[in-house]
Amino acid sequence: MEKFIEIKDVSFSYINDYDDPPTKNTVLKGVTLDINKGEFVAVLGHNGSGKSTLAKLLNSINLPESGDVFVDGMNTRDEDKLYDIRRTVGMVFQNPDNQIVATVVEEDVAFALENIGVEPSEIRKRVDWALKKVGMYEYREHAPHKLSGGQKQRIAIAGVLAMQPKCIVMDEPTAMLDPIGRREIMQTITELNSEGVTVVLITHYMEEAARAGRVVVMDDGKILLDGAPKKVFSQAELLKSVGLDVPDVTDLTHGLIRAGIDLPDDIISEDECVERLYQLLKKE
Amino acid sequence: MIKDITIGQYFPGKSAVHRLDPRMKLLLTVLYIVMLFIAKGFLGLAVGIIYMLAAFLMSGIPIRMMLKSVKPILPIIVFTGFLNLFFITTGDPLVEWHFIKITTGGLKTMVFMASRIILLIFGTSLLTYTTSPITLTDAIERVMSPLKVIKFPAHEIAMMMTIALRFIPTLIEETDKIMSAQKARGADMESGNVIKRAKALIPILIPLFVSAFRRAEELALAMECRCYHGGEGRTRLKQLKTAPRDYVALAVTVLFIVAVILLNRFLPI
Ligand SMILES: Nc1ncnc2c1ncn2[C@@H]1O[C@H](COP(=O)(O)OP(=O)(O)OP(=O)(O)O)[C@@H](O)[C@H]1O
Ligand SMILES: [Mg+2]
């Protein structure tokens, strides 16, 4: 597999200038992580564990205090590559309202392309393409503030997608959405990933993480667990000790196992759980 | 509901006036103001009235909206009208009673000035009625962009206007929410004298400001992530293109101005 993002022993601190004397809050403590091209990585961790800080290292918003971050071979410290890096790694945030710049949907989607100086005819093409990708083409002339949360978030994704990034980093994109909005976004994400876009999804929803190809668990600025969702979620005790949960189905199966029912301990999807239980019942 | 508020006073439509290039509309509005100010007599003013009437009929804007636009200026019109009426003493006297003296000259000036102000308001309102705020912002940026050589921040001003327009509905909605939240906690905003009511606004304004700053920070971050770095090297999705009708409109306007100049010279009544 081809390495796409390399995070090499990175530490990061916020300096708090308002305190006297200024205090240093070390948020990342020697993080090493490789992400391969086309992967779908979910990042979990309790509040303040450094997930957003890590995400901002991936497109030069934050620069590492020590260590290096490479994106598609470019060092994020390289100022000449700043806009190349930001085009390669698109970023979507939690609150869709605070990411939309323009008063017309299509103009917002065009924003990034306008910034990097793409030709108007090419902008048109890519805006239409991106809007179709997220299923919002019919709304291109609408005012964003009249759309639903899920629709607004899809516009924000389209705005990033228009840059044709190789990787999209999403920082809790579904946190402010209702279940319908969440489903829409998850569908868009999995579709993009299946087309080869590398996805890094920061989330607090275990069900979303279970759909990723790989789960990274952060605790107190370090990587605690890293592996396939099945492997990670089977360690329910460890996860609970750092303030995280496992998907409801996993919780359920673990309870059933404790009650003496013969089930594997790495079930993470409802379908799989239903299937296993059905097999069991049929045997009896 | 509150989500449906319109920003500014744009009246959407597809009329010929709506479809004019916004830059041309800006220019035409300026020319119209010039036309009104160079007109010396009533005939010249009549030309301005005809021009306005034609533009108004073409635009399809309801008459009630045009009249509404004059309302805020009405006190000024009345005030200057009275000044003109009582203090200009040229021409033949009409009424003389104690110290009050009204003359034909005063009456004429009053009517002339009032018509001019009203036409001025009509002209600028027609611009804002037929052009969406965002298009207008865009036009202003482009018209001003030559001034960038003297470091005039045309792009920055337009960007600020765009963001302001974008966030007005969001912040209004938020104000609504905060107000409901404070009312639910027993805040009383409707009774008491002015000072009391102004004080009642504080628990609304503070959360609103805090949230606006948080939004600003997040928006700045999102803009940076989308490669924003000022107006330099920026292209636009929508190119403004002038069509033949823009030049026709310009030619007609120039003809009207010429007519006013000729009337000034040969028939200055
Ligand atoms: N701009 C900043 N300046 C100073 N400190 C910050 C800043 N951003 C985050 N921090 C601090 O860094 C720590 C990690 O924050 P970070 O946002 O990375 O956590 P997170 O894992 O994303 O949390 P959450 O789940 O709440 O989003 C927190 O203690 C936070 O207070
Ligand atoms: Mg975060």
Nearest Cα residue to atom 31 of ligand 1: A48
Write down the pLDDT at residue B6. 47
Token pair 């606006």 is at which residue? B212
Mean pLDDT for B82-107 is 84
Total CB pairs under 8 A between chain A and B:
99
Say if B189 is an interface residue toward chain A (CB within 8 Å). no
- By Cβ distance, the residue of A61, A119, A156 closest to B221 is A61
> Residue B191 pLDDT more than 80?
no
The runs of H, that is alpha helices, within A165-225 are 179-194, 206-210
Task: Give the pLDDT band (50/70/90) at residue B3.
Answer: very low
B33: left (phi over 0), alpha (psi -120 to 50) or beta: alpha
∠A179-A183-A187 over CA atoms, to 5°? 170
- Tens of pLDDT, residues A57-96: 999 999 999 999 999 999 999 999 999 999 999 999 999 9
Per the structure, the complete domain to which residue A54 belongs is given by 3-246
Cis peptide before A21 (omega within 30 of 0): yes
Establish whether residue A49 lines the binding site of ligand 1, counting it when its CB lies within 6 angstroms of any ligand atom. yes
CB B91 within 8 A of CB B104: yes
User: What total number of domains does chain A contain?
Assistant: 1
For residue A86, the SS3 value is helix
Mean pLDDT of chain B: 88
H/E stretch holding A42: strand A40-45
pLDDT at B10 over 70: yes
Q: Is the CB of A14 under 6 A from ligand 1?
A: yes
Q: What's the whole-number mean pLDDT along residues B15-21? A: 92
Best A98, A104, A164 residue to mutate vs chain B (most B CBs within 10 Å) = A98
Q: In Å, how far is A124's CA from the nearest CA of chain B? A: 6
Tell me what the mean pLDDT of segment B30-55 comes to.
94
The first and second tokens of residue B172, run together, are: 């209004």
Tokens of B132: 């969406």
- For residue A60, what is the enclosing H or E element? none
Do A144 and B166 lie within an 8 Å CB cutoff? yes
Ligand 1 atom with the shortest distance to the CA of A46 = 25
Q: Which atom of ligand 1 is nearest to the CA of A202?
A: 22
- Is A265 part of a structural domain of the chain? no
- Does A273 map to a domain? no
Does B134 lie at the interface with A, CB-CB under 8 angstroms?
Answer: yes
How many whole angstroms separate alpha carbon A271 and alpha carbon A264?
Answer: 14
CA distance A126 to A118: 10
Ligand nearest to the backbone CA of A217 = 1
Query: Can you tell me which atom of ligand 1 is nearest the CA of A53?
Result: 18
| One-letter amino acid of B235 | T
Over the stretch B146-156, which tens digit does the pLDDT of each residue have?
888 898 898 99
CA distance B14 to B39: 32
Per-residue pLDDT of chain A (284 residues; tens, 9 = 90+): 688 999 999 999 999 888 788 889 999 999 999 999 999 999 999 999 999 999 999 999 999 999 999 999 999 999 999 999 999 999 999 999 999 999 899 999 999 999 999 999 999 999 999 999 999 999 998 989 889 999 999 999 999 999 999 999 999 999 999 999 999 999 999 999 999 999 999 999 998 999 999 999 999 999 999 999 999 998 888 998 988 888 888 888 888 988 888 888 888 888 888 998 898 888 87
The reply to whether ligand 1 has any atom less than 6 angstroms from the CB of A51 is yes
* Residues of B in Cβ contact (< 8 Å) with A71: none
- What is the ipTM for the molecules in this complex? 0.90
Residue B1 has pLDDT above 60, yes or no: no
DSSP state of A145: G
At residue A245, the pLDDT reads 85
For A117, phi and psi rounded to 5 degrees?
75, 35
Instruction: Answer for the pair A228, A35: CB distance below 8 angstroms, yes or no.
Output: no
Q: Tell whether A251 is covered by a domain.
A: no
Residue A203 CA to ligand 1 centre (angstroms): 14
A44 lines ligand 1 (CB under 6 A): no
Rounded to an integer, the average pLDDT of B42-60 is 94
Q: How many domains does chain B have?
A: 1
Query: Has residue A201 been placed in a domain?
Result: yes
| Structural tokens at position B90 | 């040229």
Please return the burial class of A28, using the count of CB atoms within 10 Å of its CB with bins 0-12, 13-18 and 19+. buried
A23 lines ligand 1 (CB under 6 A): no
Which atom belonging to ligand 1 lies closest to the Cα atom of A54? 18
Pairing of strands A167-171, A214-219: unpaired
Is the Cβ atom of A53 under 6 angstroms away from ligand 1?
yes
Q: Is residue A187 part of a domain?
A: yes
User: How far is Cα B118 from Cα B106, in angstroms, rounded to an integer?
Assistant: 18
pLDDT at B253 over 70: yes
- How crowded is residue A158: how many other Cβ atoms within 10 Å of its Cβ? 27
Structural domain span for residue B165: 2-266
* Per-residue confidence (pLDDT) for residue B8, from 0 to 100: 57
- A149 domain-assigned: yes
Q: What is the rounded CA–CA span in Å between residue B77 and residue A265? A: 83
Q: Would you place residue B4 in the very low, low, confident or very high pLDDT band (cuts 50, 70, 90)?
A: very low
Question: Is residue A84, in this structure, part of any structural domain at all?
Answer: yes
